[in-house]
Amino acid sequence: MRAVLVLLLTWSAAAQATTVERLALPELVARAETIFVGSCTAIEEQTIDGRPYQLYRFRIAETLKGRPVAVAECHLPGGRVGGMRATYAGMPLFRVGDESVVFLSRPDDTGFAWPLGLGQGYFRILRDPQSGKARIQQMLDGLHLAEPGAAKAAAANDQTPLVPVEDFLRLVRDLVRAQMPATRPE
């Protein structure tokens, strides 16, 4: 996988912050192999090469970019192994039942796709319990974002603004269309 990580993740049970390159929405769209709207339906703890991973399964409601599928999976480092829990700052933690928009990379050398820029590629859909209005929030917990070429990274604001879901999806669809090669009439 072509990593955008500025700081290589290592297996650790006590990570505090992870630094990654800041990705604006147009860049997330351009780099994503797949973008979907879906709900997490299952989380399975796994051990791969002695390290804990979590397999997340999603039921896809809409594919915004990539090959349309009914179910998607992603494997992310973290979880339980040998009675210990390993977590990585900035690594998305999906919950069963969560609705989200996910921007996935191409599969890496192990065949796993990752959310781009870790939490930058994870937008949780939140519904107001009284009005039912859906809003979206980027999940940046534990990330430090580095501007390309900058000497220092800045802590990400964990509480990004809530945006109406339809406005966000319209913008993503427009960006996907703008990046598609133009077809010429024959």
Query: For position 26, what pLDDT does the model report?
Result: 94
Query: For position 7, what pLDDT does the model report?
Result: 30
Distances (CA, A) of 119 to 23, 83, 139, 179: 11, 26, 5, 23
Query: For position 158, what pLDDT does the model report?
Result: 52
Query: For position 138, what pLDDT does the model report?
Result: 86
Query: For position 176, what pLDDT does the model report?
Result: 95
Query: For position 150, what pLDDT does the model report?
Result: 59
Walk across the sheet containing 99-104 and list its strands. 71-77, 51-65, 34-48, 99-104, 122-127, 134-138, 163-164
**First CA to last CA distance, the chain:** 37
Please count the structural domains in the chain: 1
Distance CA 131, CA 73 (A): 31
Given CA atoms 35, 168, 144, 89 in this order, what sign does their dihedral have? negative
Domain membership of residue 39 (yes or no) is: yes
Q: CATH number for the domain including 128?
A: 2.40.50.120
Distance CA 128, CA 167 (A): 16
Domain membership of residue 40 (yes or no) is: yes
Paired residues of 57 in beta bridges: 42, 73
Domain membership of residue 122 (yes or no) is: yes
Domain membership of residue 165 (yes or no) is: yes
Query: For position 17, what pLDDT does the model report?
Result: 66
Domain membership of residue 125 (yes or no) is: yes
Domain membership of residue 9 (yes or no) is: no
Range of the domain at 30: 18-179
**To the nearest 10°, the Cα dihedral for 53, 57, 61, 64?**
40
Domain membership of residue 13 (yes or no) is: no
Domain membership of residue 57 (yes or no) is: yes
Query: For position 168, what pLDDT does the model report?
Result: 94
Query: For position 185, what pLDDT does the model report?
Result: 61
Query: For position 143, what pLDDT does the model report?
Result: 63
Stretches in the chain below the pLDDT threshold 50: 1-15
Paired residues of 143 in beta bridges: 18
